[in-house]
Chain A
Amino acid sequence: MMRMDTDQLIRTLAADNAHRGRPVGFALMMALLAAAPVSLLMFFTELGIRPDVMMAMRNPFFGLKFAVTLALAIAAIAVSLHLSRPEASLRGLGWLLLAPVGILGAAIGGEMMMPQRLPMMTRLVGKNSAVCMMAIPVLSLPLLAGALVGLRHGAPARPALAGAIAGLLSAGLAATLYASHCADDSPLFVATWYTIATALVTAVGALAGAKLLRY
C-alpha cells in the first residue's frame, strides 16, 4: 500500500526547493512570441496592409485605430499579469481597461466636430464590416492560445475572468494587425465592429480560461 502522509509530502516539496518557476510575465511573452508568427502569416497571406497606406497615414483617424487597439492590448497584458496572482482582483488595475474606451470616445467626439463627406450611418456601417468581424477573431485565435499557455504559469483566483482578459489581449493584438488592412477609419466603425469582434474573442477566452487556467 502506497502512502504519502503530509510530513512526507512536505519533505518532498522542500527537496524540490531548488526548482524555480518562471515568472508569469516571461512565460506570457515567450508564448505570445511563439504565436505571433502564425497570426502574421495568416494576415499577410490573406489580407495584407492596405495599398493606400501612405495616403491613409495623413488621416489622423487611421492612426487613432492603432491607439485604441494597442491601448487595449497593453492594458489587457498588464491586467492579465496582475490577475495571475492568487490574491489579486480586478479592483487594483481594472480601470486600465477603460483606456481604449476613453480614446475611442474622444475619437468619436473629434470626428463629430469635423465636417464629413459621408453621413454618420454610412461611416458606421462602412465597407468591411463582414471581413472585420471574421478577421479579428480568426487572427486572434493563435494569440489567444499563446496567451492561455503563458497564463497557465499563473494562479488566477477567477480563471474565467483571467481567460476573458486573455481574450481582450489577443483581440487587441489581432485588431492592431487588421487595422492596417481595413480602409474604414471612422471611429464609429471601430466602436461597432471591432467591439463586436473583440466581445466574441473575449467570450471564447472566458470559456477556455474557465477550463485551462484553473490551478
Chain B
Amino acid sequence: MRERNDEWTGLMRSAIAGDSAAYHRLLKAVTPVLRAAARCGLARAGQPVDQSEDIVQDILLAVHLKRHTWDAEAPFAPWLFAIARNKLIDALRRRGRRIFVDIDDFAETLPGEVPAETASAGEVAAQLKTLPERQREVLQSIAVEAASIKDTAAKFSMSEGAVRVALHRGLASLTAKLRE
C-alpha cells in the first residue's frame, strides 16, 4: 500500500513537472482502483454497477481540472480519494440516493481484486455532442484517433497553441456540463 502511494506521488510530481507520459501512466494506474470503488459504492446503494464507468470518467476529469489544488509535498492518494469520494457521493445523490461513502473503500482496494474490463460509459460521450464543433473535432481527433497535438493541428490547419486551447476548453466545458 505504502509503495503504491509513493509510486503515485512520484508520478504526479513528474506529471506536474511536465512529463505527460508519467501523467498517462498515473491515470492508467489509478483507474482500476477508482473503478472498483465506484462499483462498490453503486452496489451498496442498490444501483446497477454498469454505471460505474461514468463515475470513473467524472472522477478522472475532476482530477485533471483540479490537480493544481494538490500540494506536491503531500501524498497523492488522500487527495485522489477525497475527489473520488466527492464525485461518487455526487453521482449517487443525482441518482436519488444519499449514502455514506467510506474513504477506506478506496484505500483497501487491492489491485488483484479490481475488474479489468471497461464497461461502457455514456455520459461524457453524450455531452461531447453538445460542444462547439471545433472543440469536439479536436477532442475526437486526440481521443478516438489517438492523433498528437501536432497532427491534429495539421489536420485542421490550426496552430498547436489553438489546438491546446480548444482541447482544454473542451475538457473544462465537458466537466461543467456533467455537473448540471
* A residues adjacent to B (C-beta < 8 A): 2-24, 84-87, 153-155, 157, 214-215
A-B contact pairs, 6 of them (CB 8 A): A2-B128, A2-B140, A5-B121, A6-B56, A19-B164, A19-B168
Chain B residues with CB under 8 Å of A23's CB are: 68
Whether A21 pairs with B65 at a CB distance below 8 angstroms is: yes
Question: B66–A86 contact, CB under 8 A?
Answer: yes
Kindly identify which residue among A6, A153, A215 contacts B53, using a CB–CB cutoff of 8 Å. Answer: A6
Q: What residues on B are CB-neighbors of A157 within 8 Å?
A: 82, 86
Please list the residues of chain B having a beta carbon within 8 angstroms of any beta carbon in chain A: 15, 18-21, 23-24, 27-28, 31, 53, 56-57, 60-62, 64-71, 78-79, 81-83, 86, 90, 118, 120-121, 124-126, 128-129, 139-140, 142-144, 146, 148-149, 164, 167-168, 171, 179
Q: Looking at chain A's contact residues, is the secondary structure mostly helix, strand, loop, or mixed?
A: loop
CB-based nearest B residue for A18: B164
Q: Which of B56, B71, B81, B86 has the most CB of A within 10 A?
A: B86
B27 touches A13 (CB 8 A): yes
The answer to whether B68 touches A22 (Cβ under 8 A) is yes
B143 contacts which chain A residues (CB < 8 A)? Answer: 4, 8-9, 11-12
State in angstroms the CA–CA spacing of A9 and B140 once bound together: 10
* Count of inter-chain pairs, beta carbons less than 8 A: 124
| B142:A11 contact, CB within 8 angstroms | yes
CB pair B164 A9 closer than 8 Å: no
B18/A18 in contact, CB under 8 A: yes
Which residue from B19, B61, B79 sits with its C-beta under 8 Å from A86?
B79
A121 to B50, CA, bound (A): 66
Contact call B128/A6, Cβ cutoff below 8 A: no
**How far is A167 from B21 in the complex, measured between Cα atoms in Å?**
41
Give the CA-CA distance A214 to B175 in the complex, in Å.
11
| Residue contact B18 to A17, C-beta cutoff 8 Å | yes
- Cα distance A8–B82 when bound, in Å? 24
Q: Are A12 and B129 in contact (CB under 8 A)?
A: no
10 tightest A-B CB contacts, nearest first: A21-B68, A87-B82, A14-B24, A86-B82, A8-B143, A155-B66, A17-B20, A12-B143, A10-B27, A4-B125
Shortest Cβ distance from A163 into chain B, in angstroms? 16
B23 touches A14 (CB 8 A): yes
Name the contact of B121 in the complex, choosing from A4, A18, A21, A84 (C-beta under 8 A).
Answer: A4
- Of B53, B64, B69, B121, most buried by chain A (CB within 10 Å of CB) is B69
B144 touches A10 (CB 8 A): no
The answer to whether A24 and B68 touch across the interface, beta carbons within 8 angstroms, is yes
| CB pair A85 B71 closer than 8 Å | yes
**Cβ of A215: which chain B residues have Cβ within 8 Å of it?**
62, 65-66, 86, 179
In angstroms, Cα B167 to Cα A2, docked, is: 17
Q: Of B69, B90, B144, which contacts A85 at CB under 8 A?
A: B69
B68: A residues at CB distance < 8 A? 20-24, 153
- Chain A residue at minimum C-beta to C-beta distance from B167: A16
Kindly report which residue of chain A lies nearest to residue B129, judged by CB atoms: A2
Which residue in B21, B79, B86, B171 is a CB contact (below 8 Å) of A13? B171
What is the CA–CA distance of A200 and B123 in the complex, to the nearest angstrom?
39
**Among B144, B148, B168, B179, which residue has its beta carbon within 8 angstroms of that of A16?**
B168
Complex formed: what's the CA distance from A86 to B140 in Å?
30
Q: Distance in Å from the Cβ of B148 to the closest Cβ of chain A?
A: 8
Task: Give the complex CA separation of A15 and B168 in angstroms.
Answer: 9
Q: Which of A18, A19, A21, A153: most chain B CB closer than 10 A?
A: A19
User: How distant is the Cα of A23 from the Cα of B15 in the complex, in angstroms?
Assistant: 16
CB distance from B92 to the nearest CB of A (A): 15
Smallest CB–CB gap between A92 and chain B, Å? 12
Query: Contacting A5 at CB < 8 Å: which of B28, B90, B118, B171?
Result: B118
Q: Which residue in A16, A85, A153, A154 is a CB contact (below 8 Å) of B64?
A: A16
